[in-house]
Each structure stands twice: as structure tokens, then as C-alpha cells.
């Protein structure tokens, strides 16, 4: 049996002028393609109310948190900065409920870009609402080049899940204007850009499988072996975890 992985979806409200009044539930196709290529069965969870999080989590083996809107600063006790962009409180609340359910059930979570940020906030961490608010900013984190192009380097902690995959460094793309400020308890940083921002984390205990990356491997799967390799390794980890818990 292939592992079933729930991808947290989004709503597109401006799909095209012709369909202005027709919101679309979706996830970027790269996530679907990458998980299928890795041998998993992806399903997409539409944004839903918090009370449905439990049943959704129970219906899958593992979770993938996708990219998207800014996380609302109201969730970490701040007012919106002038540089804050589009947010969705509804999505934030549903995703935080899913994250907590997955944690309670020890189900693996791969958190990408916004996914890493919302995971951090769900457990009490905070964010820079815009990278310009980070005092040591020295790297372009919203790259001008196309998404399949690696834009900056990341130093990786060798003794980590990501370290087994990448060794001590990786070249990644970068499309985030928000970033982790204080990391939540229960998580440990395992990747940093050269200006010192946290670009990856994992859970600090051995019990939970949580991998968060600030970059977008799903946009590089066609021309970067390590990008598809991350999804391959995640699905393998989910399969191993499933065997252990049966
Ligand atoms: Mn970056």
C-alpha cells in the first residue's frame, strides 16, 4: 500500500476575470507531482473548520504543509506591519489545528515555506513580518530569477534528517518575504542562510517526524536531483514510520 499524504490546500479567488465569482480550491501542482513520483498518494485538504482537523488527519498517513499567504501576526500577538501581505485567518486556524492533531498522533509532517512558518507559530514561535525587519539581513530572500534556479546557499546541520540528504550545505531557491524570528519550543534549527536566518528545522525529540524548509523544492524537481530527493526521502521516512507503528 502506498502511503497517503494530505496536502493542505488553498483557495484561489482571482483565478481569471471570467470566473471572478468562482473560487477554486487547489494546491500547486509541483507538490502533487513530487509526491506521486516519490511513490505516495497525495490528497488535498480544502480549507475547513478546526473541528474537522482531527478527522482529516486520521484519514492520512502523513501531512504536507504547502506555501501561500503570510501568516497573520494576530496569531503571535503582533499588529500587522505595513509590509505585511495577504493573509487568511481561516487557513491559519485550520492548518494550526491540523498541525496539533498530527503532532498528537505522531504523524510525520513536511512543512514547506509558509508551512514552516505556520508550524512555528502553531507552537508559540514568532516571525519577522517582512525580512527587512531582520537586523542582519544580507541575502536576497525573494529571488528575481526563475523558481527552478537555486538562489542562495544554506548551511545544514550534518547530524539531522536533512543533513543525511544534503550533507553540510545546499543551494536552494528563495521566495519568502517572512522568516522565523523566535523558534518554537520542541523544534531545533538545522539550516541557516549565510545572513543567519533559520531556513530549516526539525523536531528536537526522536518521537516526532517534523521537517520544515523555507525554500520550495517542489519548484525544482525537474532540474535538481536533491529537490525530488527530498520528497523521495520523506515518503521513505513515512513508509518506515508506518511499519514501526503498525
Ligand atoms: Mn531564503
Residue 182, pLDDT above cutoff 90: yes
Ligand 1 centre from 179 Cα, in Å? 8
Q: Which of 95, 101, 113, 202 is catalytic?
A: 113
For 217, half-sphere exposure in the C-beta direction (CA atoms, 13 angstrom radius) is 30
Ligand 1 centre from 138 Cα, in Å? 11
246: confidence class by pLDDT, cuts 50, 70, 90: confident
* 218 noted as active-site residue: yes
Q: What is the pLDDT of residue 245?
A: 86
Ligand 1 centre from 218 Cα, in Å? 15
Give 233's contacts (C-beta < 8 A, 6+ positions apart): 161, 164, 165
Secondary structure class of 79 (helix, strand, coil): coil
**Rounded to an integer, what distance in angstroms lies between the CA atom of residue 15 and that of residue 193?**
34
Q: What is the pLDDT of residue 71?
A: 98
Q: What is the pLDDT of residue 220?
A: 97
Three cell numbers, residue 141: 530572500
Q: What is the pLDDT of residue 92?
A: 98
pLDDT-above-70 percentage for the chain: 100
* 152 noted as active-site residue: no
* 23 vs 203, more confident: 203
CATH of domain 4-245: 3.40.50.880
Q: What is the pLDDT of residue 19?
A: 76
Q: What is the pLDDT of residue 168?
A: 98
Domain ranges of the chain: 4-245
Residue holding cell 528545522? 201
17: confidence class by pLDDT, cuts 50, 70, 90: confident
* 216 noted as active-site residue: yes
Ligand 1 centre from 186 Cα, in Å? 22
**What number is the average pLDDT over the span 237-241?**
97
**What number is the average pLDDT over the span 213-223?**
97
Q: What is the pLDDT of residue 96?
A: 98
DSSP 139-171: S-SB-SS-TTS--EEEEE-SSSHHHHHHTTEEE
Ligand 1 centre from 185 Cα, in Å? 22
Ligand 1 centre from 216 Cα, in Å? 10
Q: Which of 141, 152, 176, 216 is catalytic?
A: 216
Q: What is the pLDDT of residues 90-122, one digit of tens each?
A: 999 999 999 999 999 999 999 999 999 999 999
Residue 20, pLDDT above cutoff 90: no
Average pLDDT, the chain: 96
For 200, half-sphere exposure in the C-beta direction (CA atoms, 13 angstrom radius) is 29
pTM, entire model = 0.97
Return contacts of 162-171, CB within 8 angstroms, 24+ apart.
162/190, 162/191, 162/200, 162/202, 162/211, 162/213, 163/190, 164/233, 165/226, 165/229, 165/230, 165/233, 166/226, 170/226
Amino acid at each position: 500500500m502506498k502511503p497517503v499524504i494530505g496536502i493542505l490546500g488553498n483557495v484561489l479567488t482571482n483565478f481569471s476575470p471570467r470566473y471572478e465569482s468562482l473560487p477554486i480550491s487547489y494546491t500547486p501542482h509541483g507538490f502533487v507531482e513530487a509526491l506521486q513520483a516519490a511513490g505516495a498518494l497525495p490528497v488535498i485538504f480544502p480549507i475547513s473548520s478546526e473541528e474537522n482537523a482531527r478527522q482529516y488527519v486520521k484519514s492520512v498517513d502523513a501531512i504536507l504543509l504547502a506555501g501561500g499567504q503570510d501568516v497573520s501576526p494576530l496569531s503571535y500577538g503582533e499588529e500587522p506591519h505595513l509590509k505585511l501581505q495577504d493573509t487568511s485567518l481561516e487557513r491559519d486556524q485550520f492548518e494550526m489545528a491540523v498541525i496539533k492533531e498530527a503532532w498528537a498522533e505522531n504523524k510525520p509532517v513536511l512543512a514547506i515555506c509558509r508551512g514552516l512558518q505556520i508550524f512555528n507559530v502553531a507552537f508559540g514561535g514568532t516571525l519577522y513580518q517582512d525580512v527587512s525587519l531582520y537586523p542582519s539581513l544580507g541575502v536576497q530572500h525573494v529571488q528575481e530569477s526563475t523558481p527552478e534556479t537555486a538562489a542562495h546557499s544554506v548551511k545544514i546541520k550534518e547530524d539531522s534528517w536533512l543533513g543525511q540528504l544534503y550533507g553540510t550545505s545546499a543551494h536552494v531557491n528563495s521566495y519568502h518575504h517572512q522568516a522565523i524570528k523566535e523558534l518554537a519550543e520542541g523544534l531545533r534549527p538545522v539550516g541557516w542562510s549565510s545572513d543567519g536566518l533559520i531556513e530549516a528545522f526539525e523536531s528536537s525529540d526522536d518521537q516526532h517526524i517534523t521537517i520544515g524548509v523555507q525554500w520550495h523544492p517542489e519548484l525544482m524537481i525537474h532540474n535538481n536531483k536533491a529537490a525530488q530527493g527530498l520528497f523521495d526521502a520523506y515518503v521513505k521516512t513515512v513508509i518506515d514510520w508506518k511499519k514501526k507503528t503498525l
